[in-house]
């Protein structure tokens, strides 16, 4: 089963052992630089005055990622935060707020969130939540833009194929079908 969720929704989600013990909460999602997959989660302690933890949760330690919690076997799967983040490789920076440009030179909007596709085996970037421009025909509306192969990314701009604009969805539930159709079309081309 595949589930789509927003990266920002994962912040503060509890990390719970299979024995039912809440050991931390998600602070940030760390994407690996190579394939747009979730590589790890940085963690913070539970409670109002808890700060960042020195440990992180690599994706390999996750047994389940659901709407209410991130499940792990036990605390032994947590690893040194610095090592986990370094293993993910150099990133392209934070994409939130970045302009989205098509390879045809058209500004499509600004990234407001990252859409993550969660399966039993992995969690990967499926697309972006974007505050759209008039070029997408949805000016000043939040839409979802699929990802099949980002051409370039920096802290300032995200370059996507112009074809992606044809597969925009206005809601997250409808986005899953648009992503499948976009991937089918790009693999046929």
Same domain assignment for residues 81 and 107? no
3-state secondary structure of 12: coil
Mean pLDDT within 23-49: 84
Position 122 in a domain: yes
Tens-digit pLDDT profile for residues 133-166: 988 876 678 999 998 655 556 657 888 888 999 9
Asked if the structure places residue 67 within a domain, the reply is: yes
Are both 106 and 146 inside the same structural domain?
A: yes
In a domain, 94, yes or no: no
Task: Answer whether residue 39 shows pLDDT above 60.
Answer: yes
Asked, for residue 151, whether it belongs to a domain, the answer is yes
Q: Looking at mean pLDDT, say which of 13-17, 87-91, 149-153 comes out highest.
A: 13-17
Boundary (domain end) residue, out of 57, 87, 117: 87
Residue 93 lies in a domain: no
Contacts of 55 (CB under 8 A, 6+ apart): 24, 43, 78, 79, 80, 81
| Domain membership of residue 65 as a residue range | 3-87
Q: Which of 67, 87, 107 is the last residue of a domain?
A: 87
Q: What is the mean pLDDT of the chain?
A: 87
| Any domain includes 92 | no
| pLDDT tens, position by position, 51-67 | 889 999 999 999 999 88
**Do residue 149 and residue 174 come from a single domain?**
yes
- Tell me, yes or no, whether 23 and 72 share the same domain: yes
For position 46, which CATH number holds? 2.30.30.240
- 69 pLDDT more than 90: yes
- Same domain for 33 and 106? no
Q: How many structural domains are present in the chain?
A: 2
Domain annotation covers residue 56 = yes
Same domain, 79 and 118: no
Closest-CA residue to 175 (of 188, 185, 186, 164): 164
Which of 43, 60, 87 represents a domain boundary (last residue)? 87
Identify whether residues 68 and 105 lie together within a single domain. Answer: no
Closest by CA position to 179, among listed 154, 143, 155, 152: 143
124 and 149 co-located in one domain: yes
Residue 128 burial class via C-beta count within 10 angstroms: exposed 0-12, middle 13-18, buried 19 and up: buried
Shared domain check, 137 and 56? no
Considering the domain architecture, whether residues 105 and 82 belong to the same structural domain is answered as no
């Amino acid at each position: 089963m595949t589930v789509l969720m927003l990266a920002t929704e994962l912040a503060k989600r509890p990390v719970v052992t299979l024995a039912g013990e809440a050991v931390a909460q998600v602070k940030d999602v760390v994407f690996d630089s190579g394939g747009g997959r979730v590589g790890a989660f940085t963690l913070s302690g539970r409670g109002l005055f808890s700060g960042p933890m020195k440990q992180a949760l690599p994706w390999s330690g996750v047994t389940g990622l659901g709407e209410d919690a991130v499940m792990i076997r036990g605390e032994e799967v947590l690893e040194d935060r610095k090592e986990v983040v370094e293993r993910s490789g150099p990133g392209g920076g934070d994409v939130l707020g970045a302009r989205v440009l098509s390879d045809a030179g058209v500004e499509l909007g600004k990234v407001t969130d990252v859409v993550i596709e969660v399966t039993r085996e992995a969690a990967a970037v499926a697309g972006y939540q974007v505050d759209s421009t008039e070029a997408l025909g949805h000016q000043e509306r939040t839409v979802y833009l699929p990802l099949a192969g980002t051409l370039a990314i920096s802290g300032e701009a995200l370059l996507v194929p112009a074809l992606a604009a044809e597969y925009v969805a206005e809601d997250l539930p409808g986005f899953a079908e648009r992503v499948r159709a976009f991937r089918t079309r790009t693999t046929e081309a």
